[in-house]
Amino acid sequence: MIVCVCRRVNDKAIAQAARCGASFDDIQIDMGVATQCGQCESSARAVWMQCRPSQPTAHLQLQAKAPAPA
Ligand code: FES
């Protein structure tokens, strides 16, 4: 789903960056989210907050996707 119409950024891109540890500022700088009209900021922040590593469920999702040690 497109979150930022002005910059054509979807929720998956924001979620992936958040899971990799990007701050919201990083996402704004790298993708341009919420840097034009600003209408998407609350939605983009909600996606980022749900997926950032400090959220316990995000950690569980990351661990579930991590490859098994060799
Ligand atoms: S919709 Fe994201 S800056 Fe306009």
Ligand 1 atom nearest the C-alpha of 36 is 3
CA atoms within 13 A on the CB side of 35: 13
Query: What length does the chain have?
Result: 70
User: What is the pTM assigned to this prediction?
Assistant: 0.77
- Predicted confidence band of residue 9 (pLDDT cuts 50, 70, 90): very high
- Identify whether the C-beta of residue 30 lies closer than 8 Å to the C-beta of residue 14: no
- Identify whether the C-beta of residue 27 lies closer than 8 Å to the C-beta of residue 16: no
CA atoms within 13 A on the CB side of 44: 29
pLDDT by residue (tens digit) across 26-64? 999 999 999 999 999 999 999 999 999 875 555 555 566
What pLDDT does 54 receive?
72
Domains of the chain: 2-57 (1.10.10.1100)
Check pLDDT > 80 for residue 7.
Answer: yes
Q: How far is ligand 1, taken at its centre, from the CA of residue 47, in Å?
A: 14
Q: How far is ligand 1, taken at its centre, from the CA of residue 8, in Å?
A: 8
Q: What whole-number distance in Å separates Cα of residue 33 and Cα of residue 44?
A: 7
